[in-house]
A and B are shown apart, each in its own frame.
Chain A
Amino acid sequence: MSYQALYRVWRPQKFADLVGQPVITETLKNTIITDQISHAYLFAGPRGTGKTSAAKIFAKAVNCPNVKDGEPCNECKICQAITNGTLNDVIEIDAASNNGVDEIRDIRDKAKYAPTEATYKVYIIDEVHMLSTGAFNALLKTLEEPPANVIFILATTEPHKLPATIISRTQRFDFRRIQPRDILERMEYILNQKDVQYDDRALRVIAKAAEGGMRDALSILDQTMSYGDDVVTYENALQVTGSVTTSLLFEYVSQVFNQDVKAALVSVRKIMDAGKDASQFIEDLISYYQNILLYKQAPEMVLEQELGIVDDQFKQLSTDANADVIYQIIETLNNIQQQMRYTLHPDVYLEVLTVKIATIGNHQGISEGADSQVIQNLASQIDDLKQQINSLKQGRAQSVQSTPVAERPSDVKPASPVSRPAAKQAQPTNRSERVNLSKIYPILDHATRKDLNRIQGAWDELVQNLDVVHRSLMNITKPVAASDSGVVVSFSYNIFYQKAINDRELIDAVGNGLDRIIGYTPDLTFVPEEQWQKIRNDYLIHKRTHRQSDSDQNTAPQSADQGPKTDHGDTPDSMADDHAVAKSAAPEVVTKATELFGNDIVDVKND
């Protein structure tokens, strides 16, 4: 026998095989058990949900002499004849091609005659919505006064196209889309029966692609099997359905979330090289993003619809994801999808798209970053102010007591607990943009105006000579300090600063550029603009305390080992109180000034 498609071989032959329509099969079985057969049925529902199968089984069950519990035996002559379509009393008509009045009249005339072999004459009219109006009217007549022992079973995918008069004369059953889980089980059953090896994930992909139609599912399964020599593998299932693996999708999506444009572009290339369809990819992406959103609100729905994509990674992603960003991304995806219809180069669009959606996150990042930056600044200012008030109070108490030398140990200690927590608080908030002070300080140590001017003069030319990507990045930078061996470059936006410090290629390109223009390659150090002021001030204070501790190492050891990261203002303050009269007059002026105006305003220049 020639090859038969799976869905034909495995067409259900009894009600128990009919998957996903428990209520309908139960009702039909009961109909037969209790012998309450109506003369007309209407089976409505999407394709591949079992309408025609149910009709044929019903035809058998009605006529089978050894029917048991409403199920046909499938062994007697009548059952087999119906299965083979050779019984004269069960007539299957495709209304799509027999849609005229004449055909229906023909039925009407023949329906008058009693069945020859079977008990009931069964007319199965498939795609009944295709009948012409005249044909409907002719049919209506027959349904109104049906001859005895005739059953009409009308099957349709579009019940709304039937006249209400027809519907009201039938017993209507609405077939539902079959749940992916049921499809999955049925495929497993078939493959086990056929003794074919399969990958569980492959079946999930197929069950999802079938969109509730069993016939679709089995067709895809069939294709997948012939593709892979009777083995159902995940890869083949993906090939046949044209979908992108969830792991690749996940990879891409997480790269987009992390704004890793480069890696995401590589992923796109990989996906396109694998021969995936660009618009299919975008569709997959949209549904992936949508699932993330849905999962945030209604996890059970995603679990039900998407077999398999919900793993821990997905859960993590959906909890981390910012809904607003996803809305924007989906919008962009939609736009691109439309533009894509008119292009011959979908991959170009995909790449543009990748950059676009990765930067959607960026804008978000910038505005958020700016906000948190402002808050952080304010917080640190408040901390400063608190400490200054503290030290002022203490200073006053001391001046009243006026015994500086004896007071010193007890004076430094209360100050430092205040400063420590403040420092600790400040640290975690700006952990992402921590600047490498160990590289900056040596440069600042030797910084001169002349070097800076030279670099600044060369900067424009340098930026112009970089390639496009780097140029756009460096456009918002400026050199803020330079020594003969190093440059400090400030970035207007945190986000680009972060990108730049990890970009080896960029640093090399800038280094090379400078080498060409000014003749040597300085050490490049990047700082975010917002932090530059603070770093500079810290440096100045640090330098001063160093100088002080150099000059009186034995008197103030605490201040020296506090290092550059300690909160400014505090240690020098207490020290200034200590040594105000005895040691340097200049630091006292400075500290007084910072006390009054705060670090952000006072700009100390050491001459």
Chain B
Amino acid sequence: MNFYEVTTQLKKGELAPIYLVTGKQTYLMEQLKKQFVKMIPEADQTMNLASYDMDSTPLSEAMNDAMSAPFFGEHRLVIINNPLFLTGEKGKGKIDHATDELINYVQNPLPSTILVVMAPYEKLDARKKIVKMLKKQAVWVDLQEVNENETKKYVGQYLNHRGYQIDQSVMESLIQRTDGQLSAIMNDLPKLMIYCQKEKQITRDSVANLVTKTLNQNIFTLVDLVLKKQTTSAVSLYQELLMDGQSSIQINAVLLGQFRLLLQVMVLKNYGYSQGKLASSLKVHPYRVKLALQTSRHYQFKDLKRAFLGLTDIERQLKSTNESPELLFEMFMLKFA
């Protein structure tokens, strides 16, 4: 089941005794949690609603709660957070979780209790018995990565609903800066709305000033700026990155990797490699290859080569001398441009 199906079901008041929610979409998970909480009348919430964090509370406590009948009211809602024991990972957990109790419960759930297991993980360990049981018995809600179009639609609707407008181009830059992460966007929207509350129009300026860029995004921008030979912007972006605490070697490595890919793609393309062949022989994600193919079309081999060699030189100097990375990068840009 996906997010929308569950929400419509909940709105209709159709409840299942056990839900398993997986996926890394924190925002959607938060929303879902609110939906579940709404199912319990506000007056009953103190008694019939409990949320347990498996990082600090043993599972049996939650199970005890789940197995008791609701105090007045119709339902009792028990939310289990951070069930690391469902994954293959080993936490530092000092707490022993009696997973057998959960298995028993899953086999005979109490009809008056709604048990929600919130697993904010990419993958569960499907070999574990408890996971198998849950997937079989519970309503499994998988919160998948929201694609770009849906994100845009969602954000646009969210803003419209609150009386705000956003231009297509501003939306693009918002998506770009957040890497299209819905959670990140939703986290930043309140700020934007507050800043633009007079005009009711999200401006480009506000996005540029209030939305924090992700590292990936920054690196792509940096590669672009380097190739476009925009010394000023490239250098100031580099300074920003360093200020954010990115290590210079890391930035350089990412830059270098990007240029290397561009060069490889360009050379192999001339040998008649197709996109798929490129991806498999370079062992790179096809999407990256696609992007690289697009990018490399705009640039000359000579330029790419020069940039690559220049960056290699920086790398060497970063590791063998004490020169400041800012200076090295500035020098590189000056020479390259």
User: CB within 8 Å of B: which residues of A?
Assistant: 23-24, 26-27, 30-31, 34, 36, 38, 46, 137, 141, 158-161, 168, 171-174, 177, 286, 290, 293-294, 297-298, 300-301, 323, 327, 330, 334, 338
Q: Is the CB of A23 within 8 A of B209?
A: yes
Interface residues of B in 191-249 (CB under 8 A from A): 191, 194-195, 197, 205-206, 209-210, 212, 231-232, 235-236, 243-246
On chain A, the residues within 8 Å of B206 by CB distance are 23
User: Closest approach, in angstroms, between the C-beta of B186 and any C-beta of chain A?
Assistant: 10
Q: Is the CB of A168 within 8 A of B190?
A: no
Bound-complex Cα distance A211 to B322 (A): 21
* Known interface pairs A23-B210, A334-B321; A31-B337 also in contact (CB < 8 Å): no
Bound-complex Cα distance A293 to B337 (A): 11
Q: Is the CB of A168 within 8 A of B209?
A: no
User: Given A137-B56, A294-B231, A298-B232, list of 6 further CB < 8 A pairs?
Assistant: A23-B206, A23-B210, A27-B191, A46-B243, A141-B53, A300-B232
Q: Is the CB of A297 within 8 A of B337?
A: yes
Interface residues of B in 160-195 (CB under 8 A from A): 183-184, 187-188, 190-191, 194-195
Q: Does B303 contact A (CB under 8 A)?
A: no
Q: Is the CB of B195 within 8 A of A27?
A: yes
Bound-complex Cα distance A46 to B244 (A): 9
Bound-complex Cα distance A158 to B337 (A): 32
* Known interface pairs A294-B231, A334-B321; A160-B245 also in contact (CB < 8 Å): yes
Q: Which A residue sits closest to B193, measured CB to CB?
A: A36
- A sample of 6 cross-chain residue pairs with beta-carbon separation below 8 angstroms, ordered by A number, consists of A26-B195, A168-B187, A171-B190, A173-B210, A301-B235, A338-B321
Q: Does B330 contact A (CB under 8 A)?
A: yes
On chain A, the residues within 8 Å of B187 by CB distance are 168, 171-172
Q: DSSP class of B's interface residues: helix, strand, loop or mixed?
A: helix
Q: What string of 1s and 0s marks CB contacts (under 8 Å) between B28-67 and chain A?
A: 0000000000000000000000000101100000000000
Interface centre among B56, B191, B231 (most CB of A within 10 A): B191
User: How many chain B residues touch the partner (CB < 8 A)?
Assistant: 35
Bound-complex Cα distance A294 to B188 (A): 36
On chain A, the residues within 8 Å of B231 by CB distance are 294, 297-298, 301
* Known interface pairs A171-B190, A177-B243, A334-B323; A297-B197 also in contact (CB < 8 Å): no
On chain A, the residues within 8 Å of B235 by CB distance are 301
Q: Is the CB of A293 within 8 A of B246?
A: no
On chain A, the residues within 8 Å of B190 by CB distance are 36, 38, 171
On chain A, the residues within 8 Å of B321 by CB distance are 334, 338
User: Closest approach, in angstroms, between the C-beta of A167 and any C-beta of chain B?
Assistant: 9
Q: Does B137 contact A (CB under 8 A)?
A: no
Q: Is the CB of B334 within 8 A of A297?
A: yes
Bound-complex Cα distance A137 to B187 (A): 20
Q: Is the CB of B212 within 8 A of A174?
A: yes
Q: Which B residue sits closest to A145, measured CB to CB?
A: B51
User: Closest approach, in angstroms, between the C-beta of B56 and any C-beta of chain A?
Assistant: 8
Q: Is the CB of A327 within 8 A of B194?
A: no
Q: Is the CB of B327 within 8 A of A160?
A: no
Return the contact of A294 from the options B26, B205, B334 (Cβ within 8 A).
B334
Bound-complex Cα distance A327 to B330 (A): 12
On chain A, the residues within 8 Å of B11 by CB distance are none
Q: Which A residue sits closest to B213, measured CB to CB?
A: A174
User: Closest approach, in angstroms, between the C-beta of A66 and any C-beta of chain B?
Assistant: 22
10 shortest interchain CB distances as A-B pairs? A23-B209, A160-B245, A27-B195, A301-B232, A298-B232, A30-B194, A293-B334, A298-B231, A297-B231, A158-B245
On chain A, the residues within 8 Å of B26 by CB distance are 168
Q: Is the CB of A159 within 8 A of B195?
A: no
On chain B, the residues within 8 Å of A158 by CB distance are 245
On chain A, the residues within 8 Å of B267 by CB distance are none
On chain B, the residues within 8 Å of A294 by CB distance are 231, 330, 334
Q: Which B residue sits closest to A330, measured CB to CB?
A: B331
User: Closest approach, in angstroms, between the C-beta of A483 and any C-beta of chain B?
Assistant: 54
Q: Which A residue sits closest to B230, measured CB to CB?
A: A298
On chain B, the residues within 8 Å of A286 by CB distance are 327
Q: Is the CB of B195 within 8 A of A30?
A: yes
* Known interface pairs A294-B334, A301-B232; A168-B183 also in contact (CB < 8 Å): yes
